[in-house]
Structure 1
């Protein structure tokens, strides 16, 4: 975690000349921006608001509502790496917006200055069409995505100024166009604004395996440009509700994928996030997993057996590689449930509820409360690192 803490220290000392970027990669808990926005808000209040950061392009899924910006889209077709039939290549956003005809997507900052700098990541490809990038204060850039070579990821700087509030990216319809992502941030008169950029890159229903679909060459260039100081990896719920998940195979696969991420971003700290609590209905579950005292043959809520398998595997991988581990379920614990098991039922029964009726997902208040726990753990670690630094 030292690289992340050093970056925070530079911000706090007023010595930073660029933002500190955090990438959270995961499943639906990450796709929902409630948790990540609580993290984003808290860190930006402490260390400075550098803007929204890197986002999945356009409107990646129906209920996407990213904080700090408003996004609209027409004419694009969202394609996800979660689809087994969709061909790559894929970047770290794990989404692509494709258009064969005219299409446009617009991103608007919720506050002045939020779009002072920006980049568009797109694919160059044989026969590719033209992209037009227009800022609301007059900037305009046109580029062809056509290439005589194989498909590869390219980056285009948005024609923005410190006063830009809105940017539209359009395909004019003269050939296929694919957008992999876009980044928006604040700017000063001399360069990027220092502060925190926090990106949530989540795919509903996904497992750690989806990250293995990211093209290594594209990932390498994304890391070079985004320069993350911290990676937060948050998978496990979907693996945990799959009864075929086995410890040995999952642990090996999980470690391999995260190691590849870490190798691509060796200058970043890494947090392994264990999944939050979740339960399902089961007939006469063993006592260790059951949330109820059941009569023989009765159905009741219990922790899926594979969820414990996933948690154990992730814990061992984190310890073996000396990566920080944060336990989302433990963040839900109370006096009656000291390890957090079955608390999803308690949170769902509160008024107002903090967990969804599916007993898998949290609601906004639940995500916000657990984000406070991760933020506090990160800041405790930063405090310890800082105190040791000043003793030297």
Structure 2
């Protein structure tokens, strides 16, 4: 061998020796696994690895890059985003890339409903629940733990915490579940590389949306901030976008948005980005409005839809909302000129959960403080989150272990970030994560827990508590310090000893989701649960006589069946009662309009052919506004008091055609007593002889009923005061003397059951005796539900006593209690909540009905899930949250009739011996 060749070989040998020594040294050093030339030196044969390192010259170039990008935070060891890896199914035997065999996981055993609910599995579908149970089996295998959220306290009061740190989020979810919320419940999750590829957060999002509904994809980046990892939370961007990020070494101090990344079209000309919009109905584009700003052309399925201009002075963050046509599949944004975009939010326009993931590799609390405070505040407020999650600590712990920071600095940065969030969205809940566990490898190849994780976790707990935020100990849930070593051996952690693999991330997301659900279930339950069952309750025992009379009418037998309904809403809204009356009279026959309260002209009555007119000096008085209870009023709680020469006119069946009709009875109800004026009555324009005075003058107000035989349904009665005193008219009635239904509704807006109970009992009893109803219907509760001081015990006792008394006064009539429709009140933040007394009403009324032997029908239950909010969206509920539109009243009447007639058909199907005799 020549000296030159020998010298060359000596040089190569020396190089190889030095290379091998360096490789071994780095592989044993306490650095991230991704930086080790021999990744698994401590767990496998050394020689083959050394040979492979020496003989494979292209290994380094072929290996996927998992180190820090050159422009990432200096001294930051986290990978930008780990690429997705193929993992063995944990339900079957196999081995991980770490070389450790996996034991088979036993089949998932069924879980009892109570146990599932205690875990937090309620609301999940079959597939999601099975997946959750598999992760439960994995949790037990890994000795991970269910760690409850520490709710924190947003507002302290004299007696302790008055509102937990999660209250706004849970209240929003509850409003969503009950259909009282018309806008999405948004979550802003800020974090580091653990969520940059949407691991962990994907499980939380999917579970929350399955339980509470999906509001859409939410916020998406223009491109992956590091152009690595999964692209599930970003668009498909052209190559010329220029990134500016808060994780860069020297980011600008006055321009970065809340999202942490700005995407500029740069000097490479026009840029574009495409998104799959799927079921989205709106796209909100977030950008920087700046001097000299260019434009963004919006395309949907290749067709131009809208152009957004970004020129503005001074520079500030802005957004533009674009409505997407139904059936749209792709959205493309194409820039022109100087444009800086921050992202796009895709939402479907329906209430549901929207879960935004804002994760950046290398981030820690101090990094997000680099965002421009006005931009952070403006964009956070634009998103209107119900919950902000701050998920940091891993990089803080690493920096602490390298003595690049200290505990005081970590605490100050975390406190400042919490304060920035709270100042930006004071009405939102906030939740702070602890770091998860990580490991390092010693010079001797031993795996040990990373120093500082628990210390940082304790600081974050303190910061959360002081800032009014909830806290979740993810480190404790993972299994505390040292758990990363177990996760690595089971293939749940990447070789860098920091980042969980996909299955490990799923387990963390599973534990986080169930912690949320347990806290949600343990929080204050909804004030009103839809516990009153749908359908007509107790009809078989409460309405046998009524049904028997209906059966007789259907067979062409029997006589008039009077049904008298008292109430406020929905009785005082004619569409409900008219729809019920129309359906019953059509099927069983019409026995006349029945009782009509005195009063002035009414459009609602005119629509059904009844007209009223008051001429002269009249005063309308009602029981709601009465100075004191115990006064005599008409059945509807009103009375018309006329001065001398004043006249009251009531006409039935205005415009009805003349025809051969059955005999009928027209009745006038007045109030006689001391100082009463003289009554002159005309029927169909003809004066009727005055009634002889009573044997002795009345010493107290007394109801007097005058009846006149007539023919057919179209008649008019006029009462005129011809004396010196006042004339009090209570109402008039028209009854056809033929078999059929006489359905009459007497109502008073703003009335409650207490209003009816406060009427003078003898006057009320006299009118009931005159009407002879076979069925009394009570429709109160709507106005009671608005009372903050509603006493359940008093309502139960007083309403029950009233029903018992009126049944007796009516001669033993049967009874039916109508439960209140849903009633909501608008909060200052734009969301709806149950009226303050609704829970009491919904609970008490079924009890009153049962105790008094009445049938019960819940209007609120009939409205179904979503209640008033859903009916408002469908044009069936008024914007006041309290009343229904005419269309809503008619629909509610149809639901009531369906249940009433279904109960009647069940009665008809009974053997004749079971039919109960009734009056």
TM-score w.r.t. length of structure 2: 0.38
Residue 494 of structure 2 corresponds to: 356
Q: Is the 8 A contact 1:279 1:344 kept in 2?
A: yes
Q: Is the 8 A contact 1:71 1:108 kept in 2?
A: no
Secondary structure at the aligned position of 1:176 is classed as coil
Q: Is the 8 A contact 1:59 1:78 kept in 2?
A: no
Is 1:184 paired with 2:346? yes
Question: Does the C-alpha gap of structure 1 residues 355 and 304 become closer, same or farther in structure 2, counting only changes over 3 Å?
Answer: closer
- Partner Cα separation in structure 1 for residue 293 and residue 468 of structure 2: 44
Give the superposition deviation at 1:365: 0.8
Residue 437 of structure 2 corresponds to: 277
Secondary structure at the aligned position of 1:241 is classed as helix
Secondary structure at the aligned position of 2:519 is classed as helix
Greater relative contact order structure (CA < 8 Å, 6+ sep): 1
Is 1:341 paired with 2:510? no
Equivalent of residue 200 in structure 1, options 357, 376, 387: 357
Give the superposition deviation at 1:68: 7.6
**Residues 110-169 of structure 1: CA deviation (Å, up to 9, x unaligned):** xx41x211111111222222211111274511133223x232112112241232221111
Is 1:240 paired with 2:390? no
- Partner Cα separation in structure 1 for residue 177 and residue 304 of structure 2: 34
Q: How many residues align?
A: 359
- Partner Cα separation in structure 1 for residue 450 and residue 527 of structure 2: 43
- Partner Cα separation in structure 2 for residue 78 and residue 41 of structure 1: 29
Equivalent of residue 511 in structure 2, options 352, 362, 373: 373
- Partner Cα separation in structure 1 for residue 178 and residue 411 of structure 2: 40
Give the superposition deviation at 1:331: 1.9
Q: Is the 8 A contact 1:89 1:214 kept in 2?
A: yes
**Residues 265-308 of structure 1: CA deviation (Å, up to 9, x unaligned):** 1111111100111011236xxxxxxxxxxxxxx45222333333
Give the superposition deviation at 1:321: 3.0
Q: Is the 8 A contact 2:431 2:470 kept in 1?
A: yes
1:209-358 equivalence runs, <5 A? 209-242=366-399, 243-244=402-403, 245-282=405-442, 298-333=444-479, 340-350=480-490, 353-358=491-496
Give the superposition deviation at 1:70: 5.7
Equivalent of residue 165 in structure 1, options 313, 317, 329: 329
Q: Is the 8 A contact 1:37 1:67 kept in 2?
A: no
Residue 260 of structure 2 corresponds to: 94
Secondary structure at the aligned position of 1:254 is classed as helix
- Partner Cα separation in structure 1 for residue 311 and residue 468 of structure 2: 44
Question: Does the C-alpha gap of structure 1 residues 236 and 363 become closer, same or farther in structure 2, counting only changes over 3 Å?
Answer: same
Question: Does the C-alpha gap of structure 1 residues 132 and 74 become closer, same or farther in structure 2, counting only changes over 3 Å?
Answer: farther
Deviation above 6 Å: which 4+ runs of structure 1? none
> Which of 1 and 2 has greater Rg?
2
Is 1:8 paired with 2:173? yes
Question: Does the C-alpha gap of structure 1 residues 354 and 234 become closer, same or farther in structure 2, counting only changes over 3 Å?
Answer: same
Q: Is the 8 A contact 1:130 1:144 kept in 2?
A: yes
Residue 104 of structure 1 corresponds to: 272
- Partner Cα separation in structure 2 for residue 57 and residue 69 of structure 1: 6
Question: Does the C-alpha gap of structure 1 residues 365 and 299 become closer, same or farther in structure 2, counting only changes over 3 Å?
Answer: closer
Residue 84 of structure 1 corresponds to: 249
Secondary structure at the aligned position of 1:256 is classed as helix
Equivalent of residue 20 in structure 1, options 164, 185, 206: 185
Q: Is the 8 A contact 2:222 2:236 kept in 1?
A: no
Give the superposition deviation at 1:388: 7.5
**Residues 38-78 of structure 1: CA deviation (Å, up to 9, x unaligned):** 11100000000111101222332222434487634332122
- Partner Cα separation in structure 1 for residue 308 and residue 467 of structure 2: 44
TM-score w.r.t. length of structure 1: 0.86
Secondary structure at the aligned position of 1:126 is classed as coil
- Partner Cα separation in structure 1 for residue 326 and residue 383 of structure 2: 20
CA RMSD in angstroms comes to 2.0
Is 1:48 paired with 2:205? no
Secondary structure at the aligned position of 1:214 is classed as coil
- Partner Cα separation in structure 2 for residue 159 and residue 388 of structure 1: 34
Give the superposition deviation at 1:363: 0.8
- Partner Cα separation in structure 1 for residue 359 and residue 351 of structure 2: 25
Give the superposition deviation at 1:385: 1.4
Q: Is the 8 A contact 1:229 1:269 kept in 2?
A: yes
Residue 293 of structure 1 corresponds to: none
Moved more, 17-26 or 52-61: 52-61
Is 1:124 paired with 2:289? yes
Moved more, 40-49 or 85-94: 85-94
Q: Which runs of 5+ in 1 are unaligned?
A: 187-191, 284-297, 334-339
- Partner Cα separation in structure 2 for residue 160 and residue 39 of structure 1: 27
- Partner Cα separation in structure 1 for residue 232 and residue 186 of structure 2: 16
